[in-house]
Amino acid sequence: MTKQLLPLIEKIPQSILGFLEYSPSCWSSSLSKTTQAHARILKSGAQNDGYISAKLIASYSNYSCFDDANLVLQSIPDPTVYSFSSLIYALTKAKLFSKSLGVFSRMFSYGLIPDSHVLPNLFKVCAELSAFEAGKQIHCISCVSGLDMDAFVQGSLFHMYMRCGRMEDARKVFDRMFEKDVVTCSALLNGYARKGCLEEVVRILSEMEESGIEPNIVSWNGILSGFNRSGYNKEAVIMFQKMHHLGCFPDEVTVSSVLPSVGDLEKLDLGRQIHGYVAKQGLLKDKCVISAMIDMYGKSGDASGIVKLFEEFEVMETGVCNAYITGLSRNGLVDKALEMFELFKEKKMDLNVVSWTSIISGCAQNGKDIEALELFREMQVAGVKPNRVTIPSMLPACGNIAALVHGRSAHGFAVRINLLEDVHVGSALIDMYAKCGRINMSQIVFDMMPTKNLVCWNSLMSGYSMHGKAKEVMSIFESLVRTRLKPDFISFTSLLSACSQVGLTDEGWRYFGMMSEEYGIKPRLEHYSCMVNLLGRAGKLQEAYDLIKEMPSEPDSCVWGALLNSCRLENNVDLAEIAAEKLFVLEPENPGTYVLLSNIYAAKGMWTEVDRVRNKMESLGMKKNPGCSWIQVKNTVYTVLAGDKSHPQIDQIKEKMDEISKEMRKSGYRPNLDLVMQDVEEQEKEQILWGHSEKLAVVFGLLNTPDGTPLQVIKNLRICGDCHSVIKFISGYEGREIFVRDTNRCQISSNHVFTESHSIILHKFQPNSLSLSALIDSFQGLWSGLI
C-alpha cells in the first residue's frame, strides 16, 4: 500500500493531499521514510500538530533515534502526554532508565499528568534504578488521578516496591489488588523469604490455596532462593522438604537454590540424597547444579566429593571452576587450588572477577599473603576489574604482612568506585589499617561510614585492642550498646583482651560477668584464655588455675599457653609444669612450650631440668622457626631476621642496643631477661641479645627514621613478653610511638606466649622462589630486606 502510494504522493501537490502526507502509516515503516516525512512535515508547518509530532517521536524512538525524537519533542509548542509517552516507552525498553525518568520530569514540569500507559513504564524505571523516593512520588501522582486502581499500574507498582525492598509498601498494594495471580503471589513469597519470614510465607501459601491459586515450581524456587540469599538456611531446607512433601518435583533451579543452604548447614546426608536425585533426573549436565553441588561438598568438608564431581564434569565452565577453586581452598588444599588456577589460565579460560577473587581470598585465608597480593596485581594486568568483594578479600593479606602501601591503594580504589559505604569493605579497611599500625585511619574509615553493622564495630574494637588501647575499646563498647546493635562474643573478646593487656582486672571480671548475665553469651575458650592472661598478669596465678579448673569445656592450647606464659612472669615452676604437660599433649609439635619451660627452670637455677627439657626437645628433632619481623621505613618494608648480623649498619645497631641496655639498667629496669642472663656464658648473652627480630627491627627503625616518627613492627611469630617490655621501655626512652604486632591469628594469645627462643641460634630464613620472585617483580623494589 505504502509502496504504491509514495510515488504518487511525490507527484501530487502538497497543498491538495496534505492529509496523506501526515498519515504515519505511510511513512513509519522505515527510518529513511520517517526522515523524509519529517522534512516534508517541517516544510509544511505541520509539526505544530500534536498528533503528527507524537507519531514522529514514536517513529524515531522506535528506531532508537532518541536525539531526533527529543528534537521533535522540544519543538512542539504545546506537548501532550501522548507526545512524551512514546519516548518514555522507547527509552525504558532500551534500558536508558535515567533518561526515561528525565523525560518524565520534563513532562511533569509542563503540568502533564501521566496516564495509565506511562505509569507502568515509570514504575519499571524506578524498579530498575531502585529509585524508591521517585517511585513513591509517582505513586502519589497516580493516586490523585485514581489510576492506582488500574490493574497494570498496580502490577508495576507492586513490582517497583518489591524491587526497592519495601515489603510493607508492596504488601499494601498487593492487598488492594483486584486480580492476584500466581506470578504476583510468587513475587511476594520471594520477598518474604528474603526477609526470612517463614510464618508469612506459610500464611500466603495457605491464602493462595483458599483462593484457588496453586503455587508452581517458580513459586517454590523463589521461596528457596529467597531464604538462601538472606542466610535463612534452615527455612530454605524446611520449605524444600515441604515442597517435596506436597508432590512438587524439584528442577535444576530448585536444586541450585537449595544446595547452598544445605552446604551452610553442613547437612552432608541431605546433600548426598539430592545428588542421587539429580543424577537420576539427568540434571548433572547443568552448570549451576554442578557448581552448587561442588560448593555443598566443599562446605561440608568432603574434599573427595569435590574432586570427583569436578573431574566427571567434562565441560570447562567458569562457574564450575570457580566453585572448585573455592572448595579446594576451603578444605586447606590451597596449593592444588593454585595449581588448578594456573591450568585454567593456560587453557585460556574466561576467568572472571569471581575466579580471581576466589583464588585471592583462598590464598589470603591460608597464609599465602604474598601470593594473594601477586594475584591481585595479575588480575589487574589481565584487565579484570576488582569489585566490592575483591577488595575485602585482598585487604587481610595486606594487614597480615603490613603491606600498608597496597592496603592504601586498595582504599583509594574503593573510594574511586564508591565502595566506602559497603560494610564489608569498611570493616576490612578498619582491620587492615589497625594491623598496619594506623589505628587513626581505622577510626577515620569507621567515622565516615554512613551505616555500620556489628562487624564494623567489632573491627574497630579489635583494632584498638591490638594497639593495647583499653580505654578506647571500652568507650567504643559503651557507644555500641547505645545503638540498636547487640554486642556478640567477638566484641567481648576484644574487651577482655584489651583489659588483660593493660591489667584492668576489675573491669575484666565485670565484662566477663556481663557477657553471660546481660547478653546471654556463653563464654568461649578465647574468653577464658583472656581471663587467664588477665589474672596471670596481675600475679593471681592460683586464681587463674582455679578458673581453668571450673571451665565447662576442655581447655585448649590457648588457655594453657596463657597460664604457662603467666608462670614465666612469676617463675612459678609448679603450675608451669602442669600447663606444659597439657601443652605437650595438645601441641606436641610446638617447640615454644619446651623453650618456655626451660626458661622458667633456668630462672630458678634448676639446671638439671633445663638440660632435661632441652635434650628432650633435641631428641624430638625440634627446631625453632626463625624469627622474622617486618618494619616499614618510609615507603619500604624491610625484613629483619633474628640473629642476622650481616646488616651493613651492624655497628650502629649494636651501639644503639648497648646504649638502650645501659639506660634500662640505670633506670632500675629489670626485664626477666636479666634473670636468665645471670648464669649464662658471654656468648649466649650475645645470642640472646640478637635472638629477637622485633628488637632488631625497632633499633633499625630508630636509626633510619627522623626523631619522633612512629614505628611499626610486624612479627611472624608470637611476640615474647620480654621483647614487649623492652620495646615499651624504648618507646618511653625515645619518645616514640612503637606499635608491635604479631601475625598470629589468635588475637587473645598474641603478645603473651613465648615461642621465641632465648638461646637457640636461628637458621637462615629461606623464602620460597615464588614468594621471592613475587616480592621482586610485583612490588618493584618495595620490599628489600636484610636477607
Partner DNA sequence: GTAGGGTTAG
Positions touching DNA (CB under 7 A) are: 89, 116-117, 119-121, 124, 127, 150-153, 155-156, 159, 181-184, 186-187, 190, 216-219, 221-222, 225, 228-229, 251-257, 259-260, 286-289, 291-292, 295, 318-320, 322-323, 326, 353-355, 357-358, 361, 365, 387-390, 392-393, 422, 424-425
- Give 61's Cβ-side CA count (13 Å radius): 28
Nearer to DNA, 171 or 527 (CB): 171
Give the chain's radius of gyration (CA, Å): 35
Nearer to DNA, 85 or 593 (CB): 85
Distance from C-alpha of 455 to C-alpha of 178, rounded to nearest angstrom: 44
* Nearest by Cα to 764 from 600, 640, 641, 656: 641
Distance from C-alpha of 524 to C-alpha of 527, rounded to nearest angstrom: 5
DSSP state of 487: -
Nearer to DNA, 127 or 558 (CB): 127
Distance from C-alpha of 100 to C-alpha of 84, rounded to nearest angstrom: 10
Nearer to DNA, 288 or 476 (CB): 288
CB 353 → DNA: shortest distance, Å? Answer: 5
Nearer to DNA, 224 or 496 (CB): 224
CB 636 → DNA: shortest distance, Å? Answer: 29
Q: What amino acid occupies position 513?
A: G
Q: Distances in Å between the alpha carbon of 344 and those of 330, 370, 778?
A: 19, 21, 22
Q: Can you read off the three cell numbers belonging to residue 382?
A: 589481565
Nearer to DNA, 26 or 183 (CB): 183
CB 546 → DNA: shortest distance, Å? Answer: 39
CB 317 → DNA: shortest distance, Å? Answer: 8
CB 565 → DNA: shortest distance, Å? Answer: 31
CB 297 → DNA: shortest distance, Å? Answer: 11
Nearer to DNA, 222 or 536 (CB): 222
CB 642 → DNA: shortest distance, Å? Answer: 32
What order do you get walking across the sheet with 711-715 strand by strand?
A: 636-641, 628-633, 711-715, 738-742
Distance from C-alpha of 571 to C-alpha of 567, rounded to nearest angstrom: 5
Nearer to DNA, 312 or 478 (CB): 312
Q: Can you read off the three cell numbers belonging to residue 483?
A: 545503638
What are the helix and strand counts (H, E) for the chain?
44, 4
Distance from C-alpha of 268 to C-alpha of 325, rounded to nearest angstrom: 20
Nearer to DNA, 117 or 166 (CB): 117
Nearer to DNA, 300 or 557 (CB): 300
CB 168 → DNA: shortest distance, Å? Answer: 18
Q: Can you read off the three cell numbers belonging to residue 189?
A: 513469597
**Grid cell 618507646 — which residue?**
731
Rounded to a whole number of angstroms, the distance between the first and last alpha carbons of the chain is 87
Are 356 and 319 contacting, i.e. CB atoms less than 8 angstroms apart? no
Total number of residues shown for the chain: 787
DSSP state of 181: -
Give the helix, strand, coil percentages of the chain, each rounded to 5. Answer: 70, 5, 30
**Grid cell 579484570 — which residue?**
384
In sequence order, which ranges of 366-403 are alpha helices (DSSP H)?
A: 369-381, 390-400
CB 479 → DNA: shortest distance, Å? Answer: 24
What is the β-pairing status of strands 711-715 and 636-641? unpaired
CB 73 → DNA: shortest distance, Å? Answer: 20
Instruction: Find the angle CA(334)-CA(587)-CA(759) to the nearest 5 degrees.
Output: 105
CB 540 → DNA: shortest distance, Å? Answer: 38
CB 496 → DNA: shortest distance, Å? Answer: 24
Name residues whose C-beta falls within 8 Å of residue 335's C-beta, 6 or more positions apart in sequence: none
Nearer to DNA, 254 or 716 (CB): 254
- Hey, CA dihedral for 46, 47, 51, 53, is it positive or negative? positive
DSSP 3-state of 150: coil
Nearer to DNA, 227 or 601 (CB): 227
CB 203 → DNA: shortest distance, Å? Answer: 18
Are 716 and 748 contacting, i.e. CB atoms less than 8 angstroms apart? no
Nearer to DNA, 225 or 465 (CB): 225
